[in-house]
Structure formats: C-alpha cells, structure tokens
C-alpha cells in the first residue's frame, strides 16, 4: 500500500510502497478514508521533536475496520472508526483511574518509540522496519492500531469530515470542556485560529462563555472564527493582542487558551489573564522551549497554568459524542476543512499549512 514516509528533517516527504502486517492480539486493521493534516505534523517535518525514523506520518484520521486481531471485542470488521492518538492501554495507573489521555504506556513506549504495545511495528518496506507515529500513522491507505485507538462511530456520519474529530476537535473542545471546565458566563480568549483554536472557539460556545475573543494574524482565519462563535476578534498583526484582550475584558480574561504554543504566545496568554484566571497550554512548542512567568504575580492573582494533552478527553466516550454534536448541528466541521487532496500531495498540503493558506486539509487515499 502507499504511505507517506518521513525519513528525517530536511528530507523530502516520500510516497512509499509500504507493507502492512496482520493485526496481532488486541489490534485492528483500518482502511483509511481521510486523514487531516495537523500543525503538529509540521513540527515532525522540521525536526522539532525527537522521533524514531523512518515513520509513517499522520495522527488524525478515520476509516473502516477491515480485520481484527485475537481478543478484540469493542470493534468489529465493517465498523466506521475515528482514530485516537492516545490508544490507551487500559491497564496502567492512569488508565485504571479513568484518565486514558494520560496513559503511561502510550507516553513512555508507544509515542516515543514509534511502536505498538509490544514494542514492535506493523509496517515494513524492503526489509526495513517502518515506525508508527503516535500509534496512528494515518497518512497511509491502511494502518494497524491498538483496539483502543479505533473508536467506533455512527455510520450515518460522513466519514471524511469526522476524521478531524480525532485530533483538532477533540483537543480544542476537550481543552475547554474537560481540561479547563469553563463555566457558563466566563470570558475566554484563544490565541491562534487553526484547527485546534477554532475548536476551542466552538467549545467555548458550547460552554456558554459570555465573551469569546479569537486572536490570529490572518484576517481569513478570524472570519471563520466569527462564523463559529467568536464574539470578538483581534488581529495580532495590527494591534497588541495583550492590550486588546485586557481592554475587551476590562482587566483580563477568565480563561486564555494558547492554541499555538510558541514561547511568545504562552507568555502572552499569562499576561492576558484577569484575577483568578487560567491559562491553558494546548498548542505544542519545539522540545526544550522555555517560557517565563512571574510567580509572585501568578500567586497574588490566584491564577493557574494548565497543560492540556488531547483535551484531557476520554476518547471512547468523547469521540462518539463529538460526532453526535456535529450531526446535530451543534459544532461545525466543514467550515474548518479548507480542502481535500490525494494522499500523494501531502507535501503540497504541508506547504499550504505552513504558509497559512489552509485550515485543515484532508488527505484522501486514492
């Protein structure tokens, strides 16, 4: 089958012929319907994070189950699934405590080593092992993932559109409703209006936030944010976003979501907070980046900084729920999808994303 293989920073993205093996016990094989191109994938391409290579890229996608391994009970052949990039083990301390987004096996083995639970991979090419990316690797025609990484969803949902629930929407809506648990009537600001930031806007709308301030440097993205529920928009290329938010909220916001994750935006998110405010780090910086804050000011104003991984969601519960919200018209997904390309055009999709020309591009296997 064809897959997009990453071999190292600065090397061109290859469309390669990759062998995919049968699922082992507890694993399922999925034929990919669509895969979303996420900003985190750009970090991979730039070499911002240390990952084992070669690997099949992609961590957002949807598809149809074509085979199941021994002992699989929650997913069956023919099921429509959204892929989860925290395919939780269900057995570690955090999984048992009901916090699968904090799965220790995923954090310590699956993600850093580019493997499945048993420490091996199901991809190969010409005798060479090819690694998984976050247990998903959706830039491929077919994948093998742990059972918990393939979440069954209703069959009347358009399978390509809901692929973005697997990363952008789960991360953004989850950050608002699960990580921060924003209360009705709160003032919310979000820095960055890509797929995750726009999902934060929609989560804040679901939470009945009183004020939803969207911040970006591109007018086109701010237009989309307005359509998705932002009450105010701030063009950070024209004005100081910190001053603008402090003015709009009369002193600072209750919640600020950094959906970009640069050192500057993280520091801005803290400067935008009012008394008792909470900054939520959702976007991801390169490994090793360090932001500064003044502990005295944080303590005196009773403020909090929260990290949000995968929106602190319970994938099994929240992914089907987010699909339901979309089917009921309570969240919009089509507005966030700026285009569709065949899988082999992954390189061009990344160029669009890096240049700010795209929100979410879907890659469709031919």
Residues binding Zn ion: what is the number (CB under 5 A)? 9
250 Cβ partners below 8 Å, 6+ apart? none
DSSP state for residue 236 in the 8-state scheme: T
**Identity of the residue, 200 or 244, whose beta carbon is nearer to Zn ion in the bound complex:** 200
For residue 187, state whether it binds Zn ion (rule: CB under 5 A): no
The yes-or-no answer on residue 137 being catalytic is no
Alpha-carbon distances, residue 356 vs 219, 240, 271 (angstroms): 11, 20, 26
Helix (H) or strand (E) segment spanning residue 169: helix 168-174
Site string for Zn ion, 132-171 (x = CB under 5 A): -----------------------------------x----
Q: Cα separation of 284 and 293, whole Å?
A: 18
Exposed / middle / buried, residue 250 (Cβ in 10 Å: 0-12, 13-18, 19+): exposed
Least separation in angstroms between residue 94's CB and Zn ion is 6
Least separation in angstroms between residue 24's CB and Zn ion is 18
**Identity of the residue, 87 or 241, whose beta carbon is nearer to Zn ion in the bound complex:** 87
Task: Quote the radius of gyration of the chain (alpha carbons, Å).
Answer: 20
Which residues, numbered 75-114, are part of the site for Zn ion (CB under 5 A)?
A: 88-89, 92, 95, 103, 105
Q: What are phi and psi of 101, to 5 degrees?
A: -65, -15
Least separation in angstroms between residue 104's CB and Zn ion is 5
**Identity of the residue, 35 or 244, whose beta carbon is nearer to Zn ion in the bound complex:** 35
Which residues, numbered 24-53, are part of the site for Zn ion (CB under 5 A)?
A: 38, 40
Helix (H) or strand (E) segment spanning residue 195: helix 195-206
The yes-or-no answer on residue 43 being catalytic is yes
Q: Which residues bind Zn ion (CB under 5 A)?
A: 38, 40, 88-89, 92, 95, 103, 105, 167
- Residues with a catalytic annotation lie at 38, 40, 43, 59, 167
């Amino acid at each position: 089958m064809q897959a997009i293989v990453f071999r190292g920073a600065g090397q061109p993205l290859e469309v390669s012929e990759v062998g995919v093996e049968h699922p082992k016990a507890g694993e399922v094989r999925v034929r990919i319907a669509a895969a979303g191109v996420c900003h985190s994938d750009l970090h991979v391409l730039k070499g911002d994070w240390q990952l084992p290579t070669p690997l099949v890229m992609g961590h957002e996608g949807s598809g149809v189950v074509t085979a199941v391994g021994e002992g699989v009970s929650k997913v069956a052949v023919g099921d429509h699934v959204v892929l989860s990039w925290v395919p939780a083990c269900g057995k570690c301390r955090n999984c048992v405590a009901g916090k699968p987004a904090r799965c220790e096996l995923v954090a310590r083995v699956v993600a850093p080593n580019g493997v499945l639970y048993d420490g091996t991979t199901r991809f190969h090419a010409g005798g060479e092992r090819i690694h998984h990316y976050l247990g998903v690797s959706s830039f491929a025609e077919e994948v093998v993932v742990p059972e918990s990484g393939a979440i069954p969803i209703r069959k009347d949902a358009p399978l390509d559109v809901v692929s973005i629930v697997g990363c952008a929407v789960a991360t953004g809506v989850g950050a608002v409703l699960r990580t921060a648990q924003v209360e009705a009537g709160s003032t919310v600001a979000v820095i960055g209006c890509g797929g995750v930031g726009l999902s934060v806007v929609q989560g804040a709308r679901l939470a009945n936030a009183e004020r939803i301030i969207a911040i970006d440097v591109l007018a086109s993205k701010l237009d989309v944010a307005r359509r998705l529920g932002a009450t105010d928009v701030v063009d950070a290329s024209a004005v100081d976003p910190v001053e603008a938010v402090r003015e709009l909220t009369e002193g600072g916001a209750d919640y600020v979501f950094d959906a970009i994750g640069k050192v500057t935006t993280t520091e801005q998110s803290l400067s935008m907070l009012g008394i008792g405010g909470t900054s939520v780090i959702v976007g991801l910086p390169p490994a090793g980046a360090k932001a500064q804050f003044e502990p005295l000011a944080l303590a005196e104003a009773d403020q909090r900084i929260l990290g949000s991984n995968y929106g602190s969601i319970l994938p099994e519960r929240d992914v089907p729920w987010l699909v339901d919200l979309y089917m009921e018209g309570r969240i919009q997904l089509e507005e966030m999808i700026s285009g569709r390309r065949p899988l082999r055009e992954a390189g061009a999709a990344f160029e669009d994303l890096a240049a700010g020309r795209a929100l979410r591009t879907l890659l469709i296997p031919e």
